[in-house]
Chain A
Amino acid sequence: MSDCDQFREMYEAYALGALDPPEHAALEAHLATGCAECAKAVAEARWLVSQLAYLAPEASASDMLKGRLMQTARSEAKSKSSSSVATAPRKTSSGIPYWLSAGIAALLLLTLYFAWDAQHLKEELRASNERNQLDEQIVANTQDERVATQQKLAAMEEQMAKMHRETAILTDPSSVKIMLAAQKIRAPQMVAMWHAKYGIVLTGQKVPMPSGNRVLQLWLIPKAPGGKPMPAMTVRPDANGNFVVLVSNPPAAGSDTKALAVTEEPAGGSAEPTTTPKWVGTMS
């Protein structure tokens, strides 16, 4: 039996990522020897596996996604083409207002709570697995329960990851602080913290509630002359007018952005601003 024979039944599963670690490591080691026959078979298996994408039901993303991507691309293309323009120095945040510190503390507490809750859910999942083994007659019910618990756990872990990121942005000394002053309305200023790696956290307190179903939408105003505002996240404050919103993938880099603005927009947000900004903060 040649070395390759023992791997012939693994090509498809390898391409699928379904091999268990020992088999995966064995085939990886074999491929690392430069075996052309197995490399060719694995390459064909990868193509075959990619065809499984056809099985996904057709769906369409929002127009806002394309708007964000194209504006990012245009902004970065302009930035790269004008390499003589020096990158504006970023002001490092120094000190966090007391109310923001309270927000961070709340985030940390929530993180702890979610960590506890996630552990609780994991235990619930384990118990559900054990129940499955004990009583075959209720397999269908317990499977539903397991799926529901897994989904809840996934959502919980996603929420935890989001909170960790928000906390990192708010506490990291390299984050840049931008104060957004209210424009022609009586309202407290908003505060944005922008971290080059983790994104933007925008916070507001006692913010007037947008009318009807309308939302507040954050915009990034490019430095490039004539650059259009780039849409970011939308949010509705809670009953007390407070909110914390995370933009994990800003559509532009901080060095390419002149200012942040917040407008009131229809539910779901807009691809371009439809009202004048109610809050504006310039990057310093």
Chain B
Amino acid sequence: MFLAAFSPKDDREASPDAVLVRLLLQNDVAAFEKLYDKYFRIVYSLVLRIVQQSGPAEEVVQEVFLQLWRNSAQYDAARGPFVPWLLTLARNRALDTLRLKSERQRRLENQSDELFSVAVAPEYEKELDEKRRAERVRSLVGELNPQQRRAIELAYFQGLSHSEIAAELKEPLGTVKSWIRNGLIRLKEGLHTAS
């Protein structure tokens, strides 16, 4: 199920995902299949939204899951939940295929180390029903003004920087920075309120 991609229970010590990822170290194909079945929809949906073409999207998804299979030790459950790690990996790989601008490429390469950094779910996150959370994210982002929403989408799905978004939308740099930050803070507060 698509929404099952986001397990809200992030007990990092013994989460089912962390257990499955540990099994990959023992070349457990069944564990790999379970992880694939659980997350391929959200990973593919995200990648397709970024690269826009089904062929390249499938290639990226294949690379992402093969990286998970071959290098599962790169995921450290003690440093954060699995899903944000997987989605960050998928997003970076997908943006990498766009290769529209050398600057973006350079920035993404610089961020490669971040891939394996910490992503911590706030306390309230553990109590939020996953389906409600998905609906809430869409609803909260939908409540932003169209330009603000567009700025966040350009950053997330196209990997544009503040300056590139300002040029794209023909808005002052400071305005774009405020839109993105305030939009994400509203999302965070909205998720907190919803819990």
| Chain A interface residues toward B at CB < 8 A | 9, 12-13, 16-21, 24, 28, 39-40, 42-62, 65-66, 68-70, 72-74, 76-77, 80-81, 139, 150-151, 153-154, 157-158, 161, 248-249
Interface band, chain B: 35 or more
Counted as pairs of residues, one from A and one from B, with CB atoms less than 8 Å apart, the total is 179
A24/B110 in contact, CB under 8 A: yes
A66 to B127, CA, bound (A): 32
Residue of B56, B62, B98, B137 most packed against chain A (CB within 10 A): B62
**What string of 1s and 0s marks CB contacts (under 8 Å) between B139-150 and chain A?**
001000000000
A21 closest partner in B (C-beta): B107
A45 to B107, CA, bound (A): 18
| Chain B interface residues toward A at CB < 8 A | 2, 6, 27-29, 32-33, 36, 40-42, 44-46, 48-49, 52, 56-59, 61-63, 65-66, 69-70, 80-81, 83-84, 87-88, 91, 95, 97-100, 103, 107-108, 110-111, 114, 117-122, 125, 133-134, 137-138, 141, 152-153, 155-157, 159-163, 165, 170, 177, 180-181, 184-185, 187-188, 191
Q: Which of B61, B99, B111, B181 contacts A161 (CB 8 A)?
A: B99
- Chain B residue contacts of A24, Cβ below 8 A: 107, 110
A53/B162 in contact, CB under 8 A: no
CB distance from A269 to the nearest CB of B (A): 12
B58/A61 in contact, CB under 8 A: yes
A233 to B129, CA, bound (A): 41
A60 to B191, CA, bound (A): 27
A60/B44 in contact, CB under 8 A: yes
CB distance from A139 to the nearest CB of B (A): 8
- Chain A residue contacts of B134, Cβ below 8 A: 54
A124 to B41, CA, bound (A): 37
